[in-house]
């Protein structure tokens, strides 16, 4: 693999960002040639083969048109489109960051008043999240006005729109699709460990999910409020040995593979879930997409599941690194084959 121009340092496979490493491994299996165009960070690269070439950025694919992808990036707009088409979505209100909109009617609608009205009408707890961020950044379940306003302030530091949503209870499922085909999916399951008097908490977590054997995930994990509540608050830490029979359960209303949950792979889904998921994609004009459902799991009525959000060009690196590498690579191979056919 040619990774850089002659005057630039090359990246080894282990130095690529996880999303790119997955793409490059899938490309290798397809017999494609990968060239890193940004050797300093590794996110921009080119794939070539069969007389065709395409420039790629991280885990994104060019299979969705720009407008459909842009709508999917906006959680509020996605919800508006899907609710109009009859899909279940959580009740939502948005709060604009003061000072961001300097003209037009938006300027006079900024602030937390919509969130306060929504919470008063629906009751606590409510979910607060950024409108356009990913990886569970600053998503919180809040239980009173003080927590609500503090959570919105945190979101405004990274996004100009904060969303306030009704809490949806029940199973948390992610399903990815490509051109009417089920690609990959999993249920998010909270990490739960039981001490044996010999293994450290870190080792116990690594048995459940191999990502916890490395350092990268701990950079986020140990500053997470759930870690402080369930571990630090009980006098434990990652390096300590958990006494036999002691349990730590990271169950929570909000689950994310970057926040104390593992992926329970779903090799297949029922026909009604396949059709329901594909209908979501058609409503948004997407070819390649992932859907976060909450409230029901495959085998139950898909109409009972709320669409929490939709991701264009969903990333697979968390699944890739959490013990399901071959399933993630197989899915990425299908995506790259579609990409190369798209540009033929």
pLDDT band at 342 (very low <50, low <70, confident <90, very high): low
d(CA 32, CA 201) in angstroms, rounded, equals 42
| 42 pLDDT more than 50 | yes
Label residues 301-310 b or e (16+ Cβ within 10 Å = b): ebeebbbbbb
Helix (H) or strand (E) holding 205: helix 201-208
pLDDT at 5: 43
- The reply to whether the predicted model has a pTM over 0.85 is yes
Tokens standing for residue 262: 């593992």
d(CA 175, CA 35): 30
Q: Is the pLDDT of residue 13 over 60?
A: no
What is the band of 236 on the pLDDT scale with cuts at 50, 70, 90? very high
Q: How far is the C-alpha of 128 from the C-alpha of 267, rounded, in Å?
A: 32
47 pairs with which residues across the strands? Answer: 34, 54
Per-residue pLDDT tens over the stretch 44-95: 999 999 888 999 998 888 999 999 999 999 999 999 999 999 999 999 999 9
Question: What are 64's two structure tokens?
Answer: 């969705």
By the 8 A CB rule, do 171 and 295 touch? yes
User: Is the separation of the CB atoms in 147 and 127 below 8 Å?
Assistant: no
């Amino acid at each position: 693999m040619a990774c850089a121009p002659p005057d630039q340092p090359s990246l080894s496979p282990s130095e690529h960002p996880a999303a790119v490493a997955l793409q490059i491994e899938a490309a290798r299996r397809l017999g494609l040639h990968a060239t890193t165009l940004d050797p300093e960070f590794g996110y921009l690269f080119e794939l070539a083969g069969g007389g065709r070439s395409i420039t790629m950025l991280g885990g994104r694919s060019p299979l969705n048109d720009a407008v459909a992808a842009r709508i999917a990036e906006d959680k509020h707009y996605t919800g508006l489109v899907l609710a109009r088409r009859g899909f279940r979505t959580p009740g939502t209100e948005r709060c604009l960051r003061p000072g961001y909109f300097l003209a037009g009617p938006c300027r006079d609608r900024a602030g937390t008043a919509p969130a306060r009205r929504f919470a008063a009408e629906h009751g606590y707890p409510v979910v607060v999240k950024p409108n356009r961020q990913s990886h569970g950044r600053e998503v919180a379940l809040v239980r009173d006005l003080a927590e609500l306003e503090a959570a919105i302030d945190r979101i405004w530091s990274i996004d100009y729109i904060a969303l306030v949503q009704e809490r949806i209870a029940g199973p948390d499922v992610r399903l990815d699709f490509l051109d009417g085909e089920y690609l990959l999916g999993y249920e998010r399951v909270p990490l739960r460990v039981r001490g044996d008097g010999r293994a450290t908490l870190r080792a116990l977590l690594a048995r459940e999910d191999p990502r916890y054997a490395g350092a990268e995930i701990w950079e986020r994990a140990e500053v997470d409020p759930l870690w402080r509540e369930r571990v630090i608050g009980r006098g434990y830490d990652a390096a300590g040995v958990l006494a036999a029979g002691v349990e730590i359960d990271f169950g929570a209303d909000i689950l994310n593979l970057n926040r104390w949950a593992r992926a329970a792979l779903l090799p297949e889904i029922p026909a009604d879930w396949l059709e329901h998921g594909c209908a979501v994609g058609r409503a948004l004009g997407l070819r390649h997409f992932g859907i976060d459902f909450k409230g029901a799991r495959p085998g139950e009525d898909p109409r009972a599941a709320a669409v929490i959000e939709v991701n264009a060009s969903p990333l697979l690196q968390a699944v890739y690194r959490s013990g399901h590498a071959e399933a993630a690579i197989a899915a990425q191979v299908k995506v790259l084959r579609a990409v190369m056919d798209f540009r033929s």
